[in-house]
Structure 1
Amino acid sequence: MGVVTADERVRRIERASGRWVRLLRGAFEIARKDLTEFVRDRMRLVSFIVMPIFMMVMTGYIFPSQTMLQNVPFVVVDQDRGIAGAQLVQALAGLGPRGRPAQPGEARALRILTESTPEAAARAIQSGRARGALVIPPDLTEHLMTRTPSTLTLMPDPANPQMSAVVAGIIQGVVTAASERLSGGPARLLQLKGLEQATDINYFSFMAPGIMAMVVVMAVMTGLAGAVSREREIGTLDGLLIAPVPRLSLILGKAISQSVRGLAQGALVLLLGIVLFGVQVKGSLWMVALMLLLGVFSFVGVGILVSAISTEQETALTVMMTLTFPMMFLSGAFFPVDQMPPVLQVISRFIPLSYVIDSLRKIMLLGAGWGAVGGEVAILAAFGAVTLAVAVPAFSRAITR
C-alpha cells in the first residue's frame, strides 16, 4: 500500500469539495426552477395562501367537548403538611371520571403526582408529565383552625386548554366543598387562584402549533411526491436526468423547494394566529423554526420513497392521502391525544408528526427549552435518517429504470 503524499491529499480534498459544490449548485438550480414555476402559476399561489387561512379559521372554532376524565396526571404541591392539606389531596385522589367521588370499582379522574415546590410542578407540566398542578399553601391547617381565609394556586396546562378547563372545574368543586365543610356554612375560607387563567386559555394557541406542523410536513410530503411524478408525466424528468448535474441534486433540489414552500405556509399560519387570534409565543421563534425544519427532515424520506414507487402523479397523491389522512386526526393536531381512546393514544405514539406537534406546543405555549424537547428531537432525527437511508437508493434505482 503506497504512501499518500500531501499533494495527493490536497487533490482528493479538492475533488471531494468540487463534487459537493456541483451537488449543491445543481440542487439550488432545480429548487429555483421549481419555485419560479410555482410563483408564475397564479392559481397555485392563491391556493397556497388561502388554504392555511381557511384551515385556521375553520378548525379554530371546533371545540372538542370533554365530560369525563380518567387517569389524568395532576401534580399536588402540599406545602401545608397538615390535616387540611392531606384531606384535600385525599379528596382529589378519590374523584371519579365525572368529577364526583368515585364509586367502588370506578376509575379515578386524576392520577395524583407530588412535587415539593411550585417550580418543580411547573417543570412537570412543561415536560408533559402532568396536565396541571395545585399548590396548597403553608400553614393551611393553622389558618383554617383560626378561620383565616387561605388561597390555593391552580397551575393549568396551556398546551391542552380543554383539559385545563375541565380539570379546573372539578378542582374548583373540590375546593368549594371543602371550604363549606370546614367553615360549617357558605363562608369561603378557601379561595382558588388561577381559575380564570385555566378557563380562559386561548384555544387558537392550542391549534396553531398543530396546524403549523401539519401544513409544513404534509406540504413537503405531498409536494415532493407529486413534483417528481409530475416531471415524469410531462416528460421533463429525462431532461433533468441528462443535465450536467449530479442526480442526487434532483432529490435535494425538489426537497429544498418544497421545504421553502412548506415553511412559508407555516410562517403564514403563525402570523395569522398572532395577528387575528391572539396567539402568544412564549418560547424562542428560532426554536420553532428549527423544530419545523427537523419535522421536514423527518418526512422528506417518506416523500422521496413515495415518488420512487409511483409512476404517475395521481398514484403518488393517492398514496400520500392514504398516509396523511389518519395522521391529521391521530397526531393531536386538532384534538388532544389525551382525550382519545387508549388504543388510538398508543397508535399516535408511532406517528412522527405527533412529536413535531408536541415539541412545538411545549416551545410556543410553555416556553420550553431544548432539554424539554430532547426526546422528540431524537425520535424525529432517527426517523428521518432511517427513511432517507431507504428512500435515496430506492429513488436512484427508480429513475434509472
Structure 2
Amino acid sequence: MAIIKALQDSYRIAVKDLLEFARNRIGLLFLFLMPFFMLIMTGFIFPTGDSYTNIPVAVVDLDDSQASRMFMAQLHAMNNKSGSMVLTEVASEADARTMITRGQVYGAIIVPQGFAENQTLGKQAEILIVSDNSIPQISMVMQGLGAQVISMLGSMKATMSVQTMNAQTNMTAEEAAAVIAPYKANVQGTVGGSLTYFDFIAPGLLMMIVMMGAMTGIPRAISHEKEIGTFDGILAAPVNDISIIVGKTIAQTVRGFIQGIIVLVIAMLIFGVHIQLTSIPLAFGLLLLGIFSFIGLGILLTSIANNEETAMILMTVLQFPMMFLTGVFFPIQQMPWFMQALSNLLPLTYAVTAMRKVMILNASVMDVLPEIAILVVFGAIMLAIAIPVFRRSMTR
C-alpha cells in the first residue's frame, strides 16, 4: 500500500508540474522554439557537402605561352563541369594577392614564368596556389581543391603524352591512364548515401538539448517553488520526499522527451538526417536513458543551490565545457590528449557516441552496450548521492 501511495503521490506531483508548465504559454512556446532555432542555426552555419561551391578564385598566366594557354583552357573547361570555382583572370600575382587581401577572392592559381620551358626540358612544371590562410577552413579547402584540379589536369596531360609516344602500339586512353596511375582508390562509407556534417552533429545536438533540459528543469522548478513558497506546501503535505523527487523527475522526463522528438523530427524533415526506422525505438530509449543519467546531477545541484539564480549559474558552469568536450560539434579524436582524457570522464560523451552510432550506423543494443552501461551506472550513482543530499536540504 505504501508503494502504491508513493506512486500516486509522484503521479500527482508530475501532473501538477506539467499543468503549471502547460499554463505558462511563453515557456511552452520556447519548449518548441529552442530546439528549432538551435537546429536551424547549426544546420545552416556548419559546412555540408556542397557548402564550398562557387569559390571565387583568381587565375594568373605569367608565362603567356601556348602550353600555359592550353592549361588555362583545360582549367576553365573542367571548372565549367564541376562548378566548384568562379574563376577571374587577372594580370599579375600582385593583383591576385591584393584581391585576396580585400576579400574579393579566396585564393589564386598562378602559372609562373618558365612553365612551357620546363615542360620542353622534361622537368615538372610548377603551378602556384595561393590561399587566404587567415581563414584556415577556407584555406584548406582552397589548397585541396587546387591540388586536386592540378592533379587531374596533370593526369590528362600525361595520358595524352603517353598515347602520343605509344601511338604505334594503339594504346587506348584507359591503358595509358593505367600506366600513369596504376593504383585507384575506391572509397566507400560504412553506410550508404552521402552524409553531411549535420548528420554528424545532429545526434550530439539531440542528446545535448535533452541533457540541458534534464539538468536545468528540476533545479529551476524546485528553486522557483522555494522562492515563491509553494514548495513549503508540498513539504507540509503527507507526501514522501521520494515521491517529490520521482514526480518532478517524471515531469522533466516528459518535457525532455518531447524536446527530443521535436529535434529528431526537424533533423529528419528539414535537414534530411539519415536514420533507419528500425533504429528509432532504440534512439528513443537512449533519450530516456540520457535524461535518467542527468536527473541525479540536477537534483544534486538543486540541493546545493540556495536559490534559482545560483542553481542556473552552477548549471551553466557544467554545461559549457560539456558542449565542446563531448564530441557534439567536433570529433574528440582531434583534441589534445589531455582534453580527450577529460572528455572520457563526461557522461554526455557516451550518450552522444551511442546516439550517433544508432542514428548514423544503425547500431544495435549490443553495439552500444558499453555506453548504455556507463550511463546507467552514472545515473544510479548520481541518484544515490543526490537523494540523501536533497532530503537534508529540505530540512534546512
Q: TM > 0.5 between the two?
A: yes
Instruction: Mark the CA change 1:63 to 1:26 in structure 2 (over 3 Å): closer, same or farther.
Output: same
SS in 1 for 2:380: helix
| Distance apart, 1:52 and its partner CA | 0.4
SS in 1 for 2:180: coil
1:384-399 matches, within 5 Å, as 384-399=379-394
Q: Which residue is equivalent to 1:31?
A: 14
Instruction: Mark the CA change 1:180 to 1:310 in structure 2 (over 3 Å): closer, same or farther.
Output: farther
Find 2:212's aligned residue among 214, 218, 237: 218
The code of the aligned residue for 2:288 comes to L
SS in 2 for 1:281: coil
Q: Which residue is equivalent to 1:148?
A: none
Q: Which residue is equivalent to 2:395?
A: 400
How many angstroms apart in 2 are the aligned matches of 1:216 and 1:224?
13
Q: Which residue is equivalent to 1:101?
A: none
How many angstroms apart in 2 are the aligned matches of 1:196 and 1:386?
36
| Distance apart, 1:189 and its partner CA | 6.4
Q: 1:314 and 2:309 equivalent?
A: yes
Instruction: Mark the CA change 1:181 to 1:305 in structure 2 (over 3 Å): closer, same or farther.
Output: farther
Contact 2:43/2:271 (8 A) holds in 1: no
| Distance apart, 1:385 and its partner CA | 1.0
Contact 1:64/1:335 (8 A) holds in 2: no
| Distance apart, 1:181 and its partner CA | 10
Q: Which residue is equivalent to 1:237?
A: 231
Gaps of 5+ in 2: 49-140, 156-173
Q: Which residue is equivalent to 1:295?
A: 290
Find 1:206's aligned residue among 197, 200, 217: 200
**In terms of Rg, which structure is larger?**
2
Q: Which residue is equivalent to 2:2?
A: 19
1:134-283 matches, within 5 Å, as 183-185=178-180, 190=184, 192=186, 194=188, 200-282=194-276, 283=278
How many angstroms apart in 2 are the aligned matches of 1:197 and 1:350?
29
How many angstroms apart in 2 are the aligned matches of 1:397 and 1:228?
15
Instruction: Mark the CA change 1:321 to 1:196 in structure 2 (over 3 Å): closer, same or farther.
Output: closer
How many angstroms apart in 2 are the aligned matches of 1:43 and 1:303?
23
SS in 2 for 1:317: helix
SS in 2 for 1:190: coil
How many angstroms apart in 2 are the aligned matches of 1:238 and 1:310?
17
Alignment RMSD, CA only? 2.9
Q: Per-residue displacement from partner, 1:86-112 (whole Å, max 9, x unpaired)? A: xxxxxxxxxxxxxxxxxxxxxxxxxxx
The code of the aligned residue for 1:37 comes to E
| Distance apart, 1:339 and its partner CA | 2.2
Q: Per-residue displacement from partner, 1:237-283 (whole Å, max 9, x unpaired)? A: 11001112212111111111111111100100000011111112125
Find 1:285's aligned residue among 276, 280, 286: 280
1:377-388 matches, within 5 Å, as 377-388=372-383
Contact 1:337/1:345 (8 A) holds in 2: yes
Q: Which residue is equivalent to 1:61?
A: 44
Q: Which residue is equivalent to 1:368?
A: 363
Instruction: Mark the CA change 1:189 to 1:243 in structure 2 (over 3 Å): closer, same or farther.
Output: same
| Distance apart, 1:197 and its partner CA | 8.1
Gaps of 5+ in 1: 1-17, 66-164
How many angstroms apart in 1 are the aligned matches of 2:310 and 2:289?
27
Q: 53-62 vs 260-269, which deviates more? A: 53-62
1:41-120 matches, within 5 Å, as 41-63=24-46
Instruction: Mark the CA change 1:180 to 1:296 in structure 2 (over 3 Å): closer, same or farther.
Output: farther
SS in 2 for 1:334: coil
How many angstroms apart in 2 are the aligned matches of 1:191 and 1:205?
25
| Distance apart, 1:198 and its partner CA | 8.8
Instruction: Mark the CA change 1:390 to 1:181 in structure 2 (over 3 Å): closer, same or farther.
Output: farther
SS in 2 for 1:278: coil
The code of the aligned residue for 1:306 comes to L
How many angstroms apart in 2 are the aligned matches of 1:194 and 1:370?
25
How many angstroms apart in 1 are the aligned matches of 2:242 and 2:264?
33
Instruction: Mark the CA change 1:197 to 1:30 in structure 2 (over 3 Å): closer, same or farther.
Output: closer
Q: Per-residue displacement from partner, 1:212-235 (whole Å, max 9, x unpaired)? A: 101111101111111111111000
| Distance apart, 1:191 and its partner CA | 5.6
Instruction: Mark the CA change 1:195 to 1:371 in structure 2 (over 3 Å): closer, same or farther.
Output: closer
Q: Per-residue displacement from partner, 1:26-54 (whole Å, max 9, x unpaired)? A: 11111111111111111111111111011
Identical columns (%): 44
Q: Which residue is equivalent to 1:329?
A: 324
Contact 2:301/2:311 (8 A) holds in 1: yes
The code of the aligned residue for 2:194 comes to D
How many angstroms apart in 2 are the aligned matches of 1:226 and 1:205?
32
Aligned length: 278
Instruction: Mark the CA change 1:195 to 1:316 in structure 2 (over 3 Å): closer, same or farther.
Output: closer
